[in-house]
Structure 1
């Protein structure tokens, strides 16, 4: 039984970032950097349990929403639509390329003499979440694979006489400790939102973390029952936000603010503006507002921009401080 998302103490910025990707998966994923033991992995797995289940074809390894969307290499024994939890797939360090993308099914080849495809982690994560702990230690060849798939939304396997394609659209969530190395810029840019987490500094918060975790470890079912109402309320708000998102507007003033902020911070490309816009709109939809405003923009700016800043040798301030400074100057 998974620890309830609503029961996580503090870490409001991390929880907000994950909720925004649940409302709008197109934001582009979440990167969480911080100390060990701060609830990074707990939050990711708890979010998967919080989200409403997906409707998918029972026999499809890619979690296809309808029989028409099932890849042509899949032979269905049963094509009925079933409801299953949103997939949250772990991608472990040291994983092989075949395990990620899929490869020839050796057992079928040996026993039947037929070429068959054995789907990998990317197929399992389609329409869900792909979680990588210690992402800054991930091997370069796996990073290159993820970059290709993140760009196209499709996994392509051309090897061992196989030519396979299948959709691979997922929310990428990475976590790590910055003391153990930095992330490659190409992969860093693929994350829509970035969060910095730390251990609670207030004694009362630390006590509450211990109290809740101890209660969960002693009786997970009773603890889940205690937080069921809060979980259901949060799930309902996410579902309502998803429904409201297509009709949620962002005026020209918000677009101007997005561009002005990114120019002031010198962020490369236009992904910063687009992420700011989507995150502001997702927050407005989650909060039941018909239109994104400067208030939402202020709150999501650190999430969307702190990992997109160039290093400034003349400015020793951290990225969060630099973003906050720009917000105050541009949005004053």
Structure 2
């Protein structure tokens, strides 16, 4: 298997990389949606994330990546009680995937050859405790979207069909990418993404040249390239691990909670998910930067990613939702 392009070697796209790092610090943020032009590194960043993330402890052979034997589903045939380290799973959900492939179904071959009614896990089982990646998420079929909404809400996959009644944990970080020119995302699914970022092709010649140089070096002198950026990836991974330990200790002053509420009221965002995501994202950012107390600077940096996709559309505002968020942030936070 070919080593993916290093995460630290991606040129620019700071907001996208920051959003992905924050979901690694706190998976409870709720995933990342990346919209933008073709060829801007969206898929590359997700592949790179898989190699960057710290490994997880899993029971060998457990289909849902449980850390303890007691947590493995009763229907699973693990055959071993050994706990091993494994790369954090990053599972692709292709656009043409059937419902059976996504949620799991009866193992037809085993039913026909042995007469046994056995569950064959789907992509949601494999993605548990990891990432589920959907390229062109805005083109996903409606019935698959409905399935994902149910599972994202409960953190559990329930399959009741063909005489089977199966439940298993399915807690994953949802990462979606797409081109807005090819269709809009359903509001129900859009709201499930904790952070949303827009990426554009660089318009700076020096930056574009650097992209070409790095990609060419990756393909022509792989070992030397990985020696440089592999070490930088390792530093990011170590910082993520430290941030995870620091996260529960980050202090949140009441004034910051007031700022979160005031921002969301001023922006007119629906529900309370905006405040909660803004708070979690800002807290993860503080932990990643090594700060012990949540400050307005953290809110300023995370607000566009946490809130821009939650705004009601304003056809008279040509600047876009990101610019609207920045204006309100400047008004509220100074």
Single out whichever of 67-76 and 129-138 deviates more from structure 2. 67-76
Residue 237 (structure 2) pairs with residue 243 (structure 1): no
Which of 289, 300, 309 does residue 307 from structure 1 map onto?
A: 309
Q: Deviations over 1:191-229 (max 9, x none)?
A: 000000001111010000000001112233332122122
> Counterpart in 2 of 1:3?
5
Gaps of 5+ in 2: none
CA change 1:315–1:227 in 2 (3 A) is: closer
In structure 2, C-alpha distance between the alignment counterparts of 1:79 and 1:215, rounded to whole Å: 43
Q: Deviations over 1:269-302 (max 9, x none)?
A: 0000000000010000000111110000000000
Deviation at 1:80, TM superposition (A): 0.5
In structure 1, C-alpha distance between the alignment counterparts of 2:231 and 2:216, rounded to whole Å: 20
Which of 39, 42, 46 does residue 40 from structure 1 map onto?
A: 42
In structure 2, C-alpha distance between the alignment counterparts of 1:145 and 1:312, rounded to whole Å: 30
In structure 1, C-alpha distance between the alignment counterparts of 2:242 and 2:65, rounded to whole Å: 23
Which of 166, 169, 183 does residue 167 from structure 1 map onto?
A: 169
> Counterpart in 1 of 2:101?
99
Give secondary structure in 1 for the equivalent of 2:310: coil
In structure 2, C-alpha distance between the alignment counterparts of 1:97 and 1:160, rounded to whole Å: 14
Give secondary structure in 2 for the equivalent of 1:307: helix
Deviation at 1:317, TM superposition (A): 2.7
Aligned length, in residue pairs: 332
Give secondary structure in 2 for the equivalent of 1:261: helix
> Counterpart in 2 of 1:116?
118
> Counterpart in 2 of 1:62?
64
Which of 319, 324, 328 does residue 321 from structure 2 map onto?
A: 319
Give secondary structure in 2 for the equivalent of 1:2: coil
In structure 2, C-alpha distance between the alignment counterparts of 1:255 and 1:220, rounded to whole Å: 47
Give secondary structure in 2 for the equivalent of 1:82: strand
In structure 1, C-alpha distance between the alignment counterparts of 2:259 and 2:250, rounded to whole Å: 17
> Counterpart in 1 of 2:278?
276
In structure 1, C-alpha distance between the alignment counterparts of 2:59 and 2:219, rounded to whole Å: 35
In structure 2, C-alpha distance between the alignment counterparts of 1:316 and 1:202, rounded to whole Å: 23
In structure 2, C-alpha distance between the alignment counterparts of 1:292 and 1:250, rounded to whole Å: 5
Deviation at 1:79, TM superposition (A): 1.7
Deviating 4+ runs (over 4 angstroms): none
Any residues of structure 2 matched to 1:1-332 within 5 Å, and which? 1-332=3-334
- TM-score, normalisation: structure 2: 0.98
Give secondary structure in 1 for the equivalent of 2:309: coil
Give secondary structure in 2 for the equivalent of 1:227: helix
Deviation at 1:323, TM superposition (A): 0.2
In structure 1, C-alpha distance between the alignment counterparts of 2:315 and 2:127, rounded to whole Å: 40
